[in-house]
Structure 1
């Protein structure tokens, strides 16, 4: 069985904590590396040999936007790793732009840990999901 891991890039401390809690509850996830912004994420990619199963990127971050970070990752050694946009934005323009930039999914941040746990479990189980992922609780 392969080790499932992820790389979360998000500047919000609370959102990183919620994500970590949901990961603890999701099955099959054993490791998560986190970065507070795109600049730190690119540095980690260039300096570490970590290859995650999935990458999650927030769109609204300082120093480097999520879209800029997505572009940088798609040009890096992790170019084949699926990237999931993980954001509060449900803007149609953001959804379309990130799809064109190569994101695998667009996940609007759920309002509960339970909802996020369910989505993460679905993602890591490998089931076929639509590009746009949104839950109402």
Structure 2
């Protein structure tokens, strides 16, 4: 039986938040997705969480605490250090991509332009056995 994952999306752009959560709802309305607008909010959310998410999707370019800073803090010993992190960004600078991977990001995915591509990508990541 495939369980429904819980997700933390760390994204400052409201439009991107809405598209991401709409894609998740299209895949499975039971998926729980919490949202933090930057790395600092995400750390606070994780600190207060009774149950940690199964997966973190992380944008890199955000105010207050960006994605690289978030990775550095979480992967250095936070209680959420073992949660897989998928960098989900429009950034394509190879130096940033490599830095994110060195800091512990499990994958780096460029945000798709089409809703259908986002749905397909998310479905493949969340339910790989059913592709």
Query: Runs of 4 or more off by more than 3 Å in structure 1?
Result: none
Name the SS of the counterpart of 2:53 in structure 1.
Answer: coil
Distance 1:92 1:37 in 2: 22
Judging changes above 3 Å, is the alpha-carbon distance between structure 1 residues 15 and 59 closer, same or farther for their aligned structure 2 residues?
same
Q: 1:101 to 1:28 in 2, by over 3 A?
A: farther
Structure 2 counterpart of 1:102? 104
Partner of 1:18: 19
Whether the 8 Å CA contact 1:87–1:109 is kept in 2: the answer is yes
- Structure 1 partner of 2:7: 6
Give the drift of 1:27. Answer: 4.3
SS of structure 2 residue aligned to 1:25: helix
Alignment of 1:78-97 (within 5 A): 78-97=80-99
Of 106-115 and 27-36, the range deviating more from structure 2: 27-36
Shift of 1:28: 8.2
Taking structure 2 as the reference length, the TM-score comes to 0.90
The size of the alignment, in residue pairs, is 127
Distance 1:14 1:119, change over 3 A: same
SS of residue paired to 1:106: strand
**8 A Cα contact 1:28 1:124, kept in partner:** no
Of 48-57 and 5-14, more deviation after overlay is shown by 48-57
* CA RMSD, Structure 1 to Structure 2 (Å): 1.5
Q: Which residue of 2 aligns with 1:49?
A: 50
Q: Give the Cα–Cα distance (whole angstroms) in 1 for the partners of residues 40 and 24 of structure 2.
A: 24
TM norm structure 1:
0.86
Residues 91-125 of structure 1 deviation map (CA, whole Å, 9 limit, x = unaligned) = 11111111111101001111111111111111112
For residues 86 and 30 of structure 2, the distance between their equivalents in structure 1, rounded to whole angstroms, comes to 16
Looking at structure 2, the residues matched to 29 and 56 of structure 1 have their Cα atoms a distance apart, in angstroms, of 18
